[in-house]
Structure 1
Amino acid sequence: MQVVRIGLDLAKYVFEVHGVDSHGQIVVRKTRRRDAVARFFANLPQCLVGMEASNGAHYWARVLSDLGHEVRLISPQFVTPYG
């Protein structure tokens, strides 16, 4: 299965990655340290990445866009955690 959408939860040191396929089935659920995030996304096919608009989100949006991903920043009031 191929990842089509990823939710990226940004934090200081450890980021959570949650990816689903075109049917909404979970295909990726990983924890990555800050220094491994760009390398992880460089090895993925282009997909849609959503993340909460926060302090570091604009930096990561530029990094992921440069890797070919479509990035959408989401206002905090519309972000709900995955359970």
Structure 2
Amino acid sequence: MTINPNTVGPYTRHAATVSISLSKVAHSFVSVLARIGGKSYSALKSLQMARMLSTLANMSDHQLAQIGIQRSDIPKYAETLLAEE
């Protein structure tokens, strides 16, 4: 809803209050996201690493050989893949 100085009527004051309230909520939300941003990125990387390790560990030795690694190479290979992202 747009409020302009020429707007008159019973809803003008209410609309302005709602607009200010939404602005405060949006600012608070952005502030929270900024604070947890670093933690979220770290958690996301940890989750990606866990999924990568799980996926590679569930592959057969033949499948691992096809991509050029051995089972003992899985942790280093996973780190390399995630570093390239």
Q: 1 or 2, which has the higher strand percentage? A: 1
The verdict on a shared fold, with TM-score over 0.5 as the criterion, is no
Structure with greater contact order relative to length (CA < 8 Å, sep ≥ 6) = 1
TM-score, structure 2 length as denominator? 0.24
Q: 1 or 2, which has the higher helix percentage? A: 2
TM-score, structure 1 length as denominator? 0.24
